Amino acid sequence: MMETGSIIGDRCVGPTADRFFESVNPATEAVLARVHDASAEHLDRAVACARDAFGDWHRLPAGERAAHLAAVAEILEERAADLASVETADTGMTIGMTSGGHLPRSIAHFRHFAQEATRITGEAIPLDDAYLSVVERVPLGVVGIITPWNAPLAVMSINVAAALAAGNTCVVKPSERSPVSATLLATAALEAGLPPGVLNVVQGTGAGIGSALVEHPAVPGICFVGGTATGRAVMERAGRRLKRVTLELGGKSPTVVLADADLEAAVDGALLSMFSSNGEVCTAGSRIIVEGPLHERFTEAFVARARAIAVGDPMLAGTEMGPLIDSAHRRRVQDFIAAGMREGARLACGGTPPPDLPAGYYLSPTVLVGVANEMRVAREEIFGPVACILRAPDADQAIAIANDTQYGLSATLWTADTSRGLSLSRRLRAGTVAINSTVVRDIRAPFGGMGGSGVGRVGGRWSIERYTEVKTTTLKVEGLPLPRLGRRNRE
Ligand code: NAD
């Protein structure tokens, strides 16, 4: 069993007999790690370390901050195989997903923001001949970063790398459901030479440490990645203190399949977007809206392929879908399936754990057909392997159904006519849209949601904007005739 501590300054504060919780491997139900259950005092200490480190860190020449971030990327790359295994054991994501997706992305995040650190520039605004205003981006200070359980390293790394590149220092509160890799990342960063206090990790619950971090008076910036309901509460509380808040929240993303789409490609894309990452991904294409004439053939092909997805041990290379994060979450997902059927949807496949996998929190890929957009299964984020197939009479209706949601994170659209696809996609309300592809994320491009899916964007310079304030300094240039107060009575 592993011991996972909090990283506070240069110290790892480990779990103790009276301050610990357990993280369970969802594939085996065995305890993976005993984790430090930090107190409010631990959080205060971590924030104090981050404040102490801030002065030197933000004054470092950008090139030196960049070198530190590149060194973190390097050490993550050396440890990538081990980190991917731990991430799989802690989350249930397949080893293909963690080693081929999450780890390379995490490394790329540090490499990219190492470069971005050196690209932060300002503007000069001449005000006639009299003044010159200099506009700079300055860091916020200590940034609190709260992460979800489904992609811990990838989500932590994009935000930590951007915040540090911009000159901030960080206190990270990982999810208590998959806490291990955050501590490993911060430990590796210290070993790579990152100055102590620049990156701190405080382990604990959302209601305890998460909430205290949001309220902490010495933390002016909050980045929260998680569910929409939690995000709303975070924003309300951070709003009372007028903090800079970035929210990356849930989704109920539409996959729109038009009648002229390439059936095989659309089925491939819809399956990947729905069931990769065990359905536990914010961009999951969980509402599949198919235009009438293709609906029957699409559904038949989609269900046949969903039935054939290889569910099993996420450590095995051939596995396509692993277990859900824990038994409470699997119960919640199954409750959604039951609710959908009560409201009139038909279960085409799945709905129960695979009989050959008695241990672990597995659930077979599930497809509900005959779903109406008013049903709970179509309105709420399930965050599990449950695809809802809806029928649209025509393309206009398909777009209307796609937009009829509180969310707006991502959308995909499948059609043989790409110029019509482009025109229709411009009517989709989503932060990221893909035509004839699953959602592709490039670190230089902005990513984030509209409406209930979030506030702000991450990626490239958009991240830097979230993690900096704009500051204007004005210099007098020459010949400024200032009105001279207080002189008239003396003359
Ligand atoms: P969650 O909202 O339950 O928890 C997220 C984090 O917030 C955890 O670290 C948790 O401990 C903490 N937290 C809980 N209550 C808190 C509170 N009152 N104050 C402060 N922090 C608190 O979400 P989850 O179940 O861990 O993650 C799944 C959700 O995350 C899904 O909705 C998914 O769509 C979303 N997500 C979004 C993105 C994105 O980029 N938009 C990426 C990954 C996951």
> What pLDDT does 491 receive?
58
Please answer whether residues 7 and 186 qualify as being in contact, where contact means their C-beta atoms are separated by less than 8 angstroms.
yes
Sheet with 386-392, edge to edge strand ranges: 346-349, 366-369, 386-392, 287-291, 254-257, 410-414, 432-435
For ligand 1, is residue 206 a contact (CB within 6 Å)? Answer: yes
CB of 210 closer than 6 A to ligand 1?
yes
459 lines ligand 1 (CB under 6 A): no
Question: pLDDT per residue over 66-102, tens digit each?
Answer: 999 999 999 999 999 999 999 999 999 999 999 999 9
Helix axis angle for 418-425 and 395-403, nearest 10°, is 30
Q: Cβ distance 171 to 199 under 8 Å? A: no
Per residue in 256-281, pLDDT (tens digit) is 999 999 999 999 999 999 999 999 99
Are 135 and 212 in contact by the 8 Å Cβ rule? The answer is no
Q: What is the pLDDT of residue 129?
A: 79
Ligand 1 center–CA 159 separation, angstroms: 14
Mutation test of ligand 1: which of 43, 97, 102, 146 has the most ligand atoms closer than 8 Å to its C-beta? 146
Residue nearest to atom 39 of ligand 1 (CA): 248
Overall average pLDDT of the 282-306 stretch: 97
Question: How many angstroms does the Cα of residue 206 sit away from the middle of ligand 1?
Answer: 9
Q: What is the mean pLDDT of the chain?
A: 97
**Predicted local distance difference test score (pLDDT) of residue 24:** 98
Q: Is 317 in the pocket of ligand 1 (CB under 6 A)?
A: no
| Whether the Cβ atoms of residue 76 and residue 106 lie closer than 8 Å to each other | yes
Q: Is the CB of 233 under 6 A from ligand 1?
A: yes
pLDDT reported for residue 490: 65
Reported as a single tens digit per residue, the pLDDT across 401-440 is 999 999 999 999 999 999 999 999 999 999 999 999 999 9
Does 128 score more than 90 pLDDT?
no
384 lines ligand 1 (CB under 6 A): no
- pLDDT of 484 strictly over 90: no
Q: Whose CA is nearest to atom 12 of ligand 1?
A: 206
The catalytically annotated residue of 170, 223, 282, 349 is 282
The answer, yes or no, to whether residue 319 has pLDDT greater than 70, is yes
3-state secondary structure (DSSP) of residue 23: strand
From 23, 172, 223, 230, mutation site for ligand 1 pocket: most ligand atoms within 8 A of C-beta? 230
Residue 227 near ligand 1, beta carbon < 6 Å: yes
Look up 469 and say whether it is catalytic.
Answer: no
In the reported structure, the alpha carbon of residue 225 is separated from the centroid of ligand 1 by a whole-number distance in angstroms of 5
For residue 126, give the H/E element and its range: strand 123-127
CA of 381, closest atom in ligand 1: 32
Q: Is the CB of 249 under 6 A from ligand 1?
A: yes
Of 6, 175, 224, best ligand 1 pocket probe by most atoms within 8 Å of the beta carbon = 175
Active-site choice (248, 280, 320, 465)? 248
Q: Which of 180, 211, 276, 282 gets mutated to test ligand 1 (max ligand atoms within 8 A of its CB)? A: 282
Tell me how far the alpha carbon of residue 414 lies from the centroid of ligand 1, in angstroms.
Answer: 30
Looking at the predicted structure, is the pLDDT value of residue 342 above 80? yes
Q: Is 154 in the pocket of ligand 1 (CB under 6 A)?
A: no
Residues above pLDDT 90, as percent of the chain: 95
164-189 average pLDDT score: 98
Cα(248) to centroid of ligand 1, in Å?
9
pLDDT category of residue 307 using cuts at 50, 70 and 90: very high
User: Looking at the chain, how many residues does it have?
Assistant: 491
- Distance (angstroms) between ligand 1 centre and the Cα of 120 equals 30
214 CB less than 6 Å from ligand 1?
A: yes
CA–centroid distance, 215 to ligand 1, in Å, is 17
Q: Is 176 in the pocket of ligand 1 (CB under 6 A)?
A: yes
Closest C-alpha to 168, from 99, 312, 63, 65: 65
Q: What is the number of the ligand 1 atom nearest to the C-alpha of 214?
A: 20
Contacts of 48 (CB under 8 A, 6+ apart): 218
Kind of pairing, strands 11-13 and 6-8?
A: antiparallel
Spacing, Cα 149 to ligand 1 middle (Å): 7
Question: Does residue 349 carry a catalytic annotation?
Answer: no
Task: Please give the structure tokens belonging to residue 283.
Answer: 């961009």
CA-closest candidate to residue 309, choices 357, 239, 359: 357
Nearest to 312 by CA among 350, 359, 351, 267: 359
Q: Taking the mean position of all CA atoms in its chain, how far away is CA 445?
A: 14
Over residues 200-210, mean pLDDT: 98
Distance 239 CA to ligand 1 centre (A): 18
150 C-beta closer than 6 A to ligand 1? yes
Please state the atom number of ligand 1 nearest to the C-alpha of residue 329. Answer: 25
Collapse the DSSP code of 297 into the 3-class scheme (helix H, G, I; strand E, B; otherwise coil) and give the result.
Answer: helix
